Structure 1
Amino acid sequence: MEKFYVSRKKYEDLVNEIKRLKEQKAQLSDEIGEAAAQGDLKENAEYHAAKEKQAETLRRIDDLEMKLRNAEITDDLAVDHSEARIGATVTLKDLVADIEFTYTLVGSMESNPDKGLLSVKSPLASGVLGKKQGETFTVELPRGPKKYKLVKLEYK
């Protein structure tokens, strides 16, 4: 089973989401019971809507519980801080465009490039994993190879 890498905060957020969804599931069960009491279920839109919402909620709960069972909290990982690993914040320089940008390397569940969170499964993050500060490397991106330099490596 695939490991899901998450920060402690994200793990706690997911636990809270499961609690909220379980409360929602109980509420939906009540709604289904009330709708069923109204009689003919074939033409009862409230009943069918509540059943569909309940099925979606159960799927989400199952998905989150599976991910939490296989979660590895990145805050607890013993990683070599001299290399770029999950949890590292890296400042990279595009050697062709001569621009710098910074990302924190995270698991796929937390990925949000617009907020500076880059999944370790992305091509760029995969290319920087294991590199040391000052090292140059080439990454095969969808538009072709690009050269980068790992300008700064830090763990916060």
Structure 2
Amino acid sequence: MEYMSQEGFDKIAEELHHLETVELPQVKDAISEARDKGDLSENFEYHAAKREQGRLMGRARFLQKILENARVIDKSLLKSDCVGLLSKVRITNIGAGKSMDYTIVSPHEANLREGKISIKSPIAEALLGKKAGDEVQVKVPAGMIKLRIESVSL
């Protein structure tokens, strides 16, 4: 079981729907069209379409599994004073003096460009359960960094 936001759940469900209603039918049409061209043993279009069909079906199964095991979190039940799943956190790298804003999300929703980090990332794991004003040390690939939590909200 994996907890996630309603937004993340909807995004995955939308991707699955698009795969099933748009992309897979297009690939099936491509396979049918390539099959009509004759000899399949040397038909590159046929083999490429079959590979794409396999990739899309694998992705669809993966997304279905995520949705089957997902539990959407009711934000009203979450604490806003300490860091947890779906918390918005402003942290400062004490050594570099640089502030960053992150939202702690499930691994399937993580997207650094959007400021969403996985709850399983080293930084998020170090922040869990901490409050504004707390300082933590985190081991990251670049070494140890010291972070101060400036604010926590939902």
Q: CA deviation at 1:74?
A: 3.6
Matched, 1:106 2:87: no
RMSD: 1.9
Q: How does 1:2-151 map to 2 (within 5 A)?
A: 3-23=1-21, 24-76=23-75, 78-151=77-150
Over the matched positions of the two proteins, sequence identity in percent amounts to 32
Q: TM-score, normalised by structure 2?
A: 0.87
Farther off after superposition, 120-129 or 35-44: 35-44
- Preserved CA contact (<8 Å) 1:22 1:61: yes
SS in structure 1 of the partner of residue 77 of structure 2? coil
Question: Residues of 2 paired with 1:114 and 1:27: CA distance?
Answer: 30
Displacement after TM superposition at 1:51 (Å): 1.0
Residue 76 (structure 1) shift:
4.9
Which structure 2 segments of 5+ residues have no match?
none
Please tell me the residue identity of whatever aligns with 1:44. Answer: N
Kept in 2: contact 1:75–1:87 (CA 8 A): no
Matched-pair contact (CA < 8 Å) for 1:4–1:108: no
Long gaps (5+) in structure 1: none
Task: Say how many residue pairs are matched.
Answer: 153
Return closer, same or farther for 1:32/1:113 CA change in 2, 3 Å cut-off. closer
**Contact residue 4 and residue 109 of structure 1 kept, 8 A:** no
Instruction: Indicate if the aligned counterparts of 1:5 and 1:108 stay in contact, CA closer than 8 A.
Output: no
Cα shift readout 1:93-138 (whole Å, capped 9, x = no counterpart): 2222233221111111222223211111111111011001222222
TM-score (norm 1): 0.86
| 8 Å CA contact retained: 1:127, 1:137 | yes
- Structure 1 residue 59, shift from structure 2 partner: 0.6
- Which sits farther off after the overlay, 4-13 or 44-53? 4-13
Residue 104 of structure 1 aligns to a residue whose secondary structure is strand
